[in-house]
Structure 1
Amino acid sequence: MDTFLQDMRYAVRGLVRDRAFTLVAVLTLALGIGANTVIFSFLDALMLRPFDFPQLDRLIFLVEATPGYARNQLSAAVVDELHRNPQSLERVSAFQTWDLNLTGTNEPERLVGYRVTSDFFGVLGVGAAQGRTLQPDEGEPGHERVVVLSYALWERRFGADPGMVGRSVTLDGEPYTVVGVMPSDFRFPKAAQLWVPTALPANAQTMWSEHSYQAVGRLKEGLSVQSARSQLALLEPRMAELDPGHRVSAIPLREYGDGPIRLMLWVLMAATALVLGVACANVAGMLLARAARRAQEMAIRGALGAGQARLTRQLLTESLLLALLGAGGGLLLALWGIGLMRAGVPADVGRFVPGWHKVGMDGRVLAFTLAAAVIATLAFGLAPALRASKVQPADALRREGRGGGAGRQRLRQMLVAAQLAFALVLTVCAALNARSFGAMMEAPAGFDRERLLTLKFGMNEQRYTDLASVVRFQDEALAKVATLPGVQGVAATNNLPLGPSWSRGTLQVEGEAPLAQGNVRYVFFQVVTEDYFRVMSIPLREGNFFTPQDGPGAPPVVLLSQALAQRHFPDGSAVGRRISMNDVDGKPVWRTVTGVVGDVQVATFGSGAGDFAAVYLPQRQETTRDMYLAVRTAGDPTALTPAVRRLLSEMDGELPMTNVKPMTQVVSETLLAPRLAVVLLLVFAGVALALSAVGVYGVISYSVSQRTHEIGVRMALGAKQSDVVWLVLRQGLQPTLIGVGLGLVGAIGAARAMSGLLYGVSAFEPVLFAGMALFLVIVALMATLIPVRHAIRVDPIIALRDE
């Protein structure tokens, strides 16, 4: 310990003396370690531990897949089968989403709730912070009017009232007794604000084709996710007969969430690792140059009896001190970066991401930063320390080893090549993502998003008992909003294009050959009112729009997007043909196509909706209680928000309104994740390029300074300036070309790995790859210009005299 403290004191004195070197090295490491810390804080909270449930590794999320679409909801029969025959599962619980109205206290509010079986909290292993969770008999008729509140709802809506347990709240017009409040860190499923009990239907064993449940299970002690998958595979023969095309599998609960977000985080983590690699290679090159200047010092210490191990330990101690200082600077950068990233994500978006509330600086993140510092110490400090400790005292004292020898020069060139390879991988990934984002921005959305106000409202069954009353209210609301000053048109739909959610249906086309057994064809659909296409500026290509006569008593009708019509009716008009979106008693419900409209980007970019295929159903025939209002305005849409809110409140004082925002904001939030990824990748690539350029400059500049005598001799013997320029450039080109070659190989692999994030761009773009490689070569050559300038200004007489 005393030796280590002595080495540390000596290291501090040495770094203080060489303040310029210390400052540059610390800043370089701070950039690399800080970037890694920022991304790791998100990766850790959102992916590695999104939930703080006991024995999280034993929890699984059950998924039901069909060809071309995963994460489908389970049927009641599957859940019932797992309840009755758990085998590898200790317990299993099912739940359903429930959008509801909270009324009776202050302003009405639309909430995201879940109906859960009574063992839901037991499966997760979590108890209530106040009161209790659900009891086994709750969910059965007569015992279902109880509710467990989330901590956030209890705190925000009820002022964290400790006497809330036992009181009654009104949910969708019905009284529910609050029996518990969950802990502040319990947030499952995503965006859940309350939980009420439910039970499986009495005939659940026969309900194989109605998919409305999600399920979570706890594995028995010692069993793996694969054992659960093997058990679920035993259901496949029955499902092939009773529910063709569906199969059930399981994933670890920690993987519950948005797949593209998970992939984006892994890509960003890999990008920051490359940045740290560039930073370490850069500092390693600086340490090699510094070690060459300290050759005589090392030789004297060796001559006085210090062995190679002792010298290596001393130099590694200096590297560790640099890394710790860099880690400290990185933590400061990380605190700023984490806050900046969190501030860039709207609160109503973040609450839908499991683990979002835990993103920040905690013990795990600090431990990661310390580990990154230790790894960086070995990465940039070990090779220079070993090289410097091997100095021969006689050579150093005669100053013959001044140039560091060919071995040290090769090591510096290898470090430069590594920096350039890492930088090229990052640059290509950033360029691909930038092109992908550009394709998203340039893609024709198919509708006019400007001057469009949107809001969502939901109508409960107790107040609006039948679908006719729902349609009457919606008609009256549209008519009254249309009379407001500044309103040019108003319509309603169950989903907004490029909005936060969308609906899928199974498509059958009359006259087409039936699909193979088990195959299902999914298509996006929207329920819309008659004026929807005019308000959204979606053109009619063929036939007619919906009319008020397309009501419940009229023949079922649909409109198709142009892309869908051309795909299934390429040889003639789609108008008059028939399609089906659902079955009743095993028979398709045929709907006549009355028109074809322009293509619209219905769902999120990269979700599979890139071909704009969509079906539109009339609101009067497919009435839904949850609708978005779309109001076309003459000016700023937000200016109409108070008037629209006031009018709807006057019509129904218990009608909650949510997601009140301009359509431009809806689209912007859809593009938030890819925009953030592009910005971060460009920043990381820029940092890597700058550090690589500095590394190239440092190596060439140092080499020129060490070869002053050689250059002087060459010029004295008649060498031209062009010969000297080529000598220096060749020394820079060799590691550059090696680094670019290795970087291209790595970039191809990285591009394929992140192909799931790309939209409208191939993972392998030869022109882009070649362009980025050429750009990096140019950057490297520009970094040699200053050393080249110094080289050609060498005065042979002065150089020879100095030697």
Structure 2
Amino acid sequence: MPNLVSEVRLAVRSLARSRGFALAAIACLALGIGATTAIFSVVNAVLLRPLAYKNPDGLARIYTEFPKFPNGGLRRFWTSGPEFLELRRDLRSWQSIDAWRLGGVNLSGSNEPLRIVAGFVSGGLMETLGVQPRLGRVLTPSDDVPGANPAVVLSAGLWNRAFGSDPNILHREVWLDGRKANVIGVMPEGFQYPPGETEPAEMWSALQLDPARPGNRGGHNFNLLGRLKAGTNLEQARQEAAQYVRATGQKERATPNQHMLDPEGHPLVMFGLQEEVTGSVKPALLAMFAAVGFVLLIACGNVANLLLARAESRQREIAVRRAMGASTAGLIRQFVVEGILLSLGGAVAGLALAFGCLKLILSAAGASLPRATEIGVDPTVLAFTIGISIFTGIFFGFAPLVQSLPRPLAETLKAAGGRTTATREAHFLRRLMITSEIALALVLLIGAGLMMSAFWKLQTVRSGVQPEHVMTLRVALPRELYRQPADILAFWAKLEQRTRTLPGVLNAAVVNGLPPIRPVNANDTQIEGFVQKQGGPIQNIDYWNGVGVNYFSTLGIQLVEGRFFNESDGAASQPVLIINETLARIYYPGQSPIGKRMRPGFDDPWRTIVGVVADVKNAGLDKPAGTELYFPMPQTEGNFRSASVVARTQGDPVQMVSALRGVIQELDPALPVSAVMPMTEVMAKAQARPRFLTLLIGLFSAVALGLAALGIYSVMAYSVAQRTNEFGIRMAMGALQGDVLRLVLRQGLILGVSGVGIGAAGALILSRLLRGSLYGVGAFDPLPFIGMSVLLLAVTALACLSPALRATRVDPVIALRYE
């Protein structure tokens, strides 16, 4: 221990004598370690850390699918009530199978009415998760009996926000959509179910699905969670499910509208719960982790170059210490201590940087990143950072010794006694590291270029609406207070009419489903005269939308054929529809659909198509438009209890928020208002994930470019300093300043071209990892590859320029006199 203390003191004194070197090395390491720690914190929380449930590896999602539906089929789809009850009864691989659905509810009984997302779960689901509540108890099967008194469990966030963390919250009465319920529990901080939702549930209540009336087989409204029996794995459960579906299909072949399980038309699929939560972001996060690893390697390469340069100036010190009896082990131990001190200094500064990076990441990610609330610098992340620091410290500690220890002592003393250039091996090692840095930087730059190109193309996508100067908010009518269809329709009509008459409002309407992201409906719809063909579309429409008369003009949706809805399309008028271009193209190819008839749900009245409008994006800006039909709100028979208000304004739409809220409060003071935001912000939220990924890789690329430029500069500056005499002799023998300038620039550009060649090959691999995040951009898009290669070569030339100009200013007389 005394030896170690003395070695630490000696290392500190040595680094203090080279403050500039130490600060440069620590700064490089801080950038690399800080960025790596921040991204590892994200990867650890999102991908690596098990979900916070009991035995999470045994949990899996169970879906149905409709592979033959249009646009590639319906994948990982919900189940119907009858399917859920049958699967829970018949499948033997599962200890439990539970259902849930999410829905917006109006919560009263707190400080003010709130619109929240609630999870309605079957009675055993919360017990299956195995998470103990903070207060009270969780929902049980006894709460799930039809007709039982409604009970609710609150999230810790809602308990704090709406009830001020009241310790006496248990058994308090609240109202969900006007229906009285009792609070029976509060979940612990951080609990979330289902995990990974962009709008997580803040309250849970019993589903109370009646086995005697579970709904029809076409009503796919439920998500399923299963826990495997002990000793059973997911593959065995899949095999059992496949046999079950085959037997069901053989026993009772489905017609197109029966929705019976069938291996080809309506199979079951199952996936591990953690895989489902993180699968959509896993490739992009792994690519980000690889990218930030490149930043760390570039930073380490810079530090290694600094250490090699410093090592050449310490050859005499090493030789003298060896001559005085210092052992090889002692020298190794001394320089390793110096390397670890440098790395620990970089780690401390890097951790401070990592906290700042995490704040930036979380603010930029918003709700686009699953499990974002779990991200932080925890013990695993700290261990990772310390591990990186110790490894790099040991690695760097050997740098001063790689040139001197293999050489005989006499040769080292002789070489260190005079002025000489570095060894050929040292030159080669430095150039190899710089070439590697350039290659790694190019990989990141091309990745950033691809992401920016994809994000730019996403901005140019036609959403089908004109979002500027439009304000939106959402209102839901509780079932207990608005029982009659006439009451519902009257409310929407009054809301629409009063909003339109507000000063500053040009037009306004209500709409059930607001683009550009909304859940798919996939509703059966009878199409008059339609004959189904093998492999062709079936009578099912992706989106149904109830809209006010002025909806299309308010959002600027273009009319393609026919007419818009008007005031004459009332409840007593002929039932009508408007369809989108995609629906017209699929079901009425080569003909006009105007005057044709459709019947939603196969049991509604026939409705006549009066118009065709341009496609509007509903599944996301990067997804193709689905089929969509529009009902005039007065003819919806009160089926839509929840709707958004869209108001086109003369000026800044945000200034109309107070007036819009006032209209709703006048109509019903108990109604909460939610999702208040300009339409431009609604559109921006649809691009949150690609924006987040583009920002991250752009930042890392900028850091990598700066570090690579610093590395090139340092190597070229050192090379010029080592070759001062050579340049003096050349100029004394007649070489011009331009000749020396070209010589140095050529040396640097050779390194740049070599790195660009290697980096372009590596970028192809990264681009394949990012392929799922690149909208409208192929894995090999020539523009980012060429543009970023030229940029990096330009930066290389600029980094070489200052050392090259310094070389041209060498005085031949002084150089020859010194020689």
Could you say whether these structures have the same fold, taking a TM-score greater than 0.5 normalized by the shorter chain as the test? Answer: yes
Q: Select which of 198, 204, 218 maps to 1:195.
A: 204
Q: Select which of 198, 216, 225 maps to 1:216.
A: 225
Contact preservation (8 Å) 1:454, 1:628: yes
For structure 1, the 5+ residue unaligned runs are none
Counterparts in 2 of 1:226-375, with a 5 A limit? 226-238=235-247, 241=253, 242-244=260-262, 245-257=265-277, 260-344=280-364, 350=367, 354-375=370-391
Change (3 A) 1:384 1:301: closer
**Deviation readout 1:328-357 (Å, 9 max, x if unpaired):** 111111222222333456xxx54x865332
Contact preservation (8 Å) 2:109, 2:173: no
Matched residue of 1:137: which SS?
helix
CA distance in 2, matches of 1:437, 1:797: 58
Kindly state the Cα deviation for residue 195 of structure 1 after the two structures are TM-superposed. Answer: 1.2
With 102-111 and 278-287 compared, the bigger mean Cα shift is at 102-111
With 417-426 and 663-672 compared, the bigger mean Cα shift is at 663-672
CA distance in 2, matches of 1:383, 1:581: 75
Identity %: 36
CA distance in 2, matches of 1:537, 1:719: 71
With 505-514 and 593-602 compared, the bigger mean Cα shift is at 505-514
Contact preservation (8 Å) 1:437, 1:675: yes
User: Do structure 1's residue 546 and structure 2's residue 565 form an aligned pair?
Assistant: yes
Counterparts in 2 of 1:671-682, with a 5 A limit? 671-682=687-698
Matched residue of 1:234: which SS?
helix
Matched residue of 1:169: which SS?
strand
**Deviation readout 1:100-153 (Å, 9 max, x if unpaired):** 111244422212111111111111111221111123322112324211121211
Partner of 2:708: 692
Kindly state the Cα deviation for residue 524 of structure 1 after the two structures are TM-superposed. Answer: 4.4
Matched residue of 2:141: which SS?
coil
Contact preservation (8 Å) 2:336, 2:396: no
Contact preservation (8 Å) 2:101, 2:121: yes
Kindly state the Cα deviation for residue 613 of structure 1 after the two structures are TM-superposed. Answer: 5.8
CA distance in 1, matches of 2:586, 2:335: 69
Kindly state the Cα deviation for residue 415 of structure 1 after the two structures are TM-superposed. Answer: 0.6
Kindly state the Cα deviation for residue 31 of structure 1 after the two structures are TM-superposed. Answer: 1.0
**1:184 aligned partner, one-letter code:** E
Change (3 A) 1:612 1:211: closer
Contact preservation (8 Å) 1:748, 1:764: yes
Partner of 1:19: 19
User: Do structure 1's residue 532 and structure 2's residue 551 form an aligned pair?
Assistant: yes
Contact preservation (8 Å) 1:298, 1:391: no
Change (3 A) 1:4 1:94: farther
Partner of 2:118: 113
With 56-65 and 613-622 compared, the bigger mean Cα shift is at 613-622
For structure 2, the 5+ residue unaligned runs are 254-259
With 739-748 and 667-676 compared, the bigger mean Cα shift is at 667-676
Change (3 A) 1:213 1:627: same
**Deviation readout 1:499-520 (Å, 9 max, x if unpaired):** 5656555688754653539989
**Deviation readout 1:347-400 (Å, 9 max, x if unpaired):** xx54x8653322233323322322332344356555665445435432332227
Partner of 1:225: 234
**1:737 aligned partner, one-letter code:** V
Partner of 2:654: 638
Counterparts in 2 of 1:389-788, with a 5 A limit? 389-399=405-415, 402-499=420-517, 503-505=521-523, 511=530, 513-516=532-535, 523-550=542-569, 557-562=576-581, 564-566=583-585, 569=588, 571-577=590-596, 582=601, 592-606=608-622, 608-609=623-624, 611=625, 614-622=628-636, 623-788=639-804
Kindly state the Cα deviation for residue 566 of structure 1 after the two structures are TM-superposed. Answer: 4.6
CA distance in 2, matches of 1:583, 1:274: 58
Kindly state the Cα deviation for residue 43 of structure 1 after the two structures are TM-superposed. Answer: 2.8
Matched residue of 1:107: which SS?
coil
**2:757 aligned partner, one-letter code:** G
Matched residue of 1:572: which SS?
coil
**2:591 aligned partner, one-letter code:** G
Matched residue of 2:224: which SS?
strand
Matched residue of 1:647: which SS?
helix
Contact preservation (8 Å) 1:48, 1:254: no
Contact preservation (8 Å) 1:80, 1:200: no
Contact preservation (8 Å) 1:66, 1:519: no
Partner of 1:122: 127
Partner of 2:162: 157
Matched residue of 1:784: which SS?
helix
Contact preservation (8 Å) 1:299, 1:391: no
CA distance in 2, matches of 1:424, 1:568: 49
Change (3 A) 1:141 1:680: closer
Partner of 2:45: 45
Change (3 A) 1:206 1:20: same
Contact preservation (8 Å) 1:493, 1:628: yes
CA distance in 1, matches of 2:281, 2:745: 44
**2:487 aligned partner, one-letter code:** S
Q: Select which of 76, 83, 99 maps to 1:94.
A: 99
Kindly state the Cα deviation for residue 95 of structure 1 after the two structures are TM-superposed. Answer: 0.9
| RMSD (Å) for aligned C-alpha atoms | 3.0
Matched residue of 1:656: which SS?
coil
**2:301 aligned partner, one-letter code:** A
Change (3 A) 1:800 1:567: farther
CA distance in 1, matches of 2:699, 2:556: 38
Contact preservation (8 Å) 1:312, 1:386: no
Contact preservation (8 Å) 1:456, 1:657: yes
Change (3 A) 1:643 1:724: closer
CA distance in 2, matches of 1:638, 1:285: 55
Partner of 2:256: none
Partner of 2:257: none
Change (3 A) 1:358 1:126: same
Q: Select which of 131, 146, 150 maps to 2:151.
A: 146
Kindly state the Cα deviation for residue 740 of structure 1 after the two structures are TM-superposed. Answer: 0.8
Contact preservation (8 Å) 1:89, 1:220: yes
Matched residue of 2:441: which SS?
helix
Contact preservation (8 Å) 1:605, 1:759: no
With 254-263 and 87-96 compared, the bigger mean Cα shift is at 254-263
Contact preservation (8 Å) 1:94, 1:120: yes
CA distance in 2, matches of 1:276, 1:469: 63
Change (3 A) 1:52 1:724: same
Q: Select which of 136, 142, 150 maps to 1:137.
A: 142
